[in-house]
Structure 1
Amino acid sequence: MSVLSRDTWVLVADSEKALFLRNETDADNPNLVVVREEEQSNPKDVAQSANKPGRMQDTGRQQTSAVEDTDWHELAKERFADDLAGILFRQAEKHKFERIVIAAAPQVLGALRDKLHKEVQWRVVAEVDKNLTNHPVDQIESLLHDQFDTA
């Protein structure tokens, strides 16, 4: 069976946006249709931090050291992978898809891979470690077709 067979889902994600697509046709001429879109508002860390970094007393006299503040921007990126894994699990439980291709930026792909439930893991038929979120759907179709047609 070809990777992009009919009804195969494709998740295209980065750390802030995700498209859930379904192939309406066959692998020879994929026609990906948007099933769902997810996006999180994730301003730069400076905009999310309320306080200046803390200070802590050192063992020496009259000495303090800066304490690293939480990077809220990075934390939100990690949580987005959690959110996507949860969405995929709920959709798999409802039998919305039997096969899925995950195309994501390498860092996101790694984080997502670690968080996927077994119910989703066995449905993953391919992974593409590229960020395709800013590509139009027809380009995503072509890129995936080319990648799997030569594989």
Structure 2
Amino acid sequence: MAGIPKNALVLVGDGRKALLLRNEGDYQFPNLKAEAVFEDQNPPTHLQGTDRPGHFIKGIVSGQRAGESHVVRMQVVAKSKERDSEGSS
């Protein structure tokens, strides 16, 4: 079984907190003592700001709903086909 060498540093962490521990014991009987503690300073969302999140509208005209751009494209294609068929007859 592998042990932790004397004076070795061990980092234990998750998404919010990290501990830097030093083994003050020996290889066979570790005695981990905290050297440093790192905590994420992330306040709740309501404390970070009051602005509404931004958004991006993909389309030809600002304010368009998602399905509208498809309808507009279909109408443009239909009109161009009408013009082509009128010109060829």
| SS in structure 2 of the partner of residue 53 of structure 1 | coil
What is the CA deviation profile of residues 79-125 of structure 1, one whole-angstrom value per residue up to 9, with x for unaligned ones? xxxxxxxxxxxxxxxxxxxxxxxxxxxxxxxxxxxxxxxxxxxxxxx
**Tell me, which stretches of 5 or more residues in structure 2 are unaligned?**
67-89
Decide whether aligned partners of structure 1 residues 30 and 62 sit closer, same or farther in structure 2, where only a CA change above 3 A counts. closer
Displacement, 1:42? Answer: 1.1
Residue type of the alignment partner of 2:44 = K
Displacement, 1:50? Answer: 3.2
Higher gyration radius (CA): 2
Residues 20, 35 of structure 2: 8 Å contact kept: yes
| SS in structure 2 of the partner of residue 10 of structure 1 | strand
Residues 55, 64 of structure 1: 8 Å contact kept: no
What's the counterpart of residue 43 of structure 1?
Answer: 43
Moved >4 Å (runs of 4+): none
2: distance between equivalents of 1:62 and 1:20? 51
Residues 3, 28 of structure 2: 8 Å contact kept: no
TM-score of the aligned structures, taking structure 1 as reference length: 0.35
CA RMSD of aligned residues (A): 2.5
What's the counterpart of residue 19 of structure 2?
Answer: 19
Decide whether aligned partners of structure 1 residues 62 and 28 sit closer, same or farther in structure 2, where only a CA change above 3 A counts. closer
Displacement, 1:8? Answer: 0.8
Higher relative contact order (CA 8 A, sep 6+): 1
2: distance between equivalents of 1:11 and 1:54? 38
TM-score of the aligned structures, taking structure 2 as reference length: 0.55
**Tell me, which stretches of 5 or more residues in structure 1 are unaligned?**
66-151
What is the CA deviation profile of residues 115-139 of structure 1, one whole-angstrom value per residue up to 9, with x for unaligned ones? xxxxxxxxxxxxxxxxxxxxxxxxx
